[in-house]
Amino acid sequence: MARDYYEILGVDRGADEAQIKKAFRRLARELHPDVNAHDPQAEEKFKEAAAAYEVLSDGERRRMYDTYGEEGLRGRGYAPDMDAFGSVSDLFSAFFGTGGFDAAFGGGRRGRYAGAVQGADVVVAAAIDLADSARGAQVEISYEAATLCPHCNGNGAEPGTPIVDCPRCDGTGQHQRVARTAFGQLVRTSICDRCEGEGRVPETPCSECDGAGMVGEHKRVAVDIPPGIADGQRIRLTRRGHAGQRGGPPGDLYVVVRVREDERFLRDGEDLVTVIDVPAPLAALGTTVQVPTFDGEVPLEIPAGTQPGETIVMRGRGLPPLSRGRTGDLRVVVNVAIPRRLTREQRSLLQDFAATVTEDNLRSDEGMLAKLKRVLAG
């Protein structure tokens, strides 16, 4: 059983046009999906309110409804069906324009129909070296952002000239279009594109900003990049974006950090991986090699008998954690390098050595499966 349209809008039967409109705007503001995502019923309630408004805002339909009820409307070929709009935001746009919730209900009080709107965000990229990601860095960012025009102070009028009622919408801030749909006539209200809902426009547009009230400004800002940041992560600087409209706050600045590759290291989360070549005889004998780190080269002992692909972990030589946790490790993969070219003398020495090699020299505690896994993992 459908609810009474007056009851849905919360107005009494004698309510005038302005009261009905006000009640619908209030409901729409409460039930808008951007505001009310947590109420699963909000969408249905909004559709219901829209249907009620469709009928009660039209004198002819309202009389029919008052006399014959919903049945009577249907009998005359009118039955509001708000599901025809598909999404609730399409439906919302049909009544309040495509500017979205902020354009229709923004918090400011300056405009008649449109309120303060927050400025748009600015996104810029900053490239740093992997070493900077280890230590943290400060980079200077430059970007263009819309800012209030200093010539007209943001109101769009040439100084000393008046701001007048918008000639396009006669100062109402909106256009109404009547669309004929399968469900009857539908009044679509949209925000005036000349005055953007304010109802007022400058008579003589500002010579600096052409009436926009905004000009582009080149900005520079130093950004602290925290240690441990990974490629693609974003840093948000609040209120450093484009200026807001009609007294709204500026948008934010997002710095997307690109971390350049470092030829010496692969990054694996907080860990770094590097590969060190060790000549086969030295891998057999054991040796000390120099390993690159962000603090310069440090010595690493390679134990005698180190096998190809074996990994030696240097604790705490990786990257610092971005927030909590411990500093990563540097994993050194030992590439046992087999000499590709030999002198006559080396060949002869190696032949003599090879003649002495026995099963015992190669024995390990590692089973075949474990050996395969190690080789495949490398």
Interaction between residue 114 and Zn ion (CB under 5 A)? no
Q: Which residue, 188 or 194, is less far from Zn ion as judged by CB? A: 194
- Of 290, 273, 285, 378, the closest CA to residue 335 belongs to 378
- Say how far residue 96 (Cα) sits from the centre of its chain: 26
Runs of H (alpha helix) within the chain? 5-9, 17-31, 42-56, 59-75, 88-96, 100-105, 130-135, 280-285, 344-354, 359-362, 368-377
| Token couple for 304 | 């005698």
Instruction: Pick between residue 170 and residue 295 the one whose CB is nearest to Zn ion.
Output: 170
Q: Is 73 in the site for Zn ion (CB under 5 A)?
A: no
Helix, strand and coil percent figures for the chain, each rounded to 5: 30, 30, 45
Residue among 82, 114, 119 nearest 101 (CA): 114
Task: Say whether residue 191 binds Zn ion (CB under 5 A).
Answer: no
Pick the stretch among 28-36, 66-74, 194-202, 367-375 that binds Zn ion (CB under 5 A): 194-202
The number of CA neighbours under 13 Å toward the Cβ of 104 is 23
Name the minimum Å distance from CB 199 to Zn ion.
Answer: 6
283 scored as a contact of Zn ion (CB under 5 A) = no
- And the tokens for 108? 């400011």
Phi/psi for 107 (5° steps) reads -70, -20
Backbone angles phi, psi at 263, to 5 degrees: -55, -25
Q: Give the nearer residue to Zn ion in terms of CB position, either 181 or 207.
A: 207
Among 169, 225, 229, 253, binds Zn ion (CB under 5 A): 169
Q: Which is nearer to Zn ion, 82 or 148 (CB)?
A: 148
Residue 128 interacting with Zn ion (CB under 5 A): no
Encoded one letter per residue, x for contact with Zn ion by CB under 5 A and - for no contact, window 136-165 reads: -------------x-xx-------------
Q: Looking at beta carbons only, is 193 or 268 nearer to Zn ion?
A: 193
**CA 14 from centre of chain:** 48
52 binds Zn ion (CB under 5 A): no
- Least distance (Å) from Zn ion to the CB of residue 186? 22
Residues 219-248, one symbol each (x = binds Zn ion by CB under 5 A, - = not), give ------------------------------
- Site residues for Zn ion, window 204-223 (CB under 5 A)? 206, 208-209
The reply on whether position 195 binds Zn ion by CB under 5 A is yes
What is the β-pairing status of strands 253-259 and 266-268? unpaired
Using CB under 5 A as the binding criterion, the count of chain residues that bind Zn ion stands at: 12
Told to check if 166 binds Zn ion by CB under 5 A, we report: yes
Q: Does 112 bind Zn ion (CB under 5 A)?
A: no
> 3-state DSSP call for residue 86?
coil
User: Which residues here bind Zn ion, judged by CB under 5 A?
Assistant: 149, 151-152, 166, 168-169, 192, 194-195, 206, 208-209
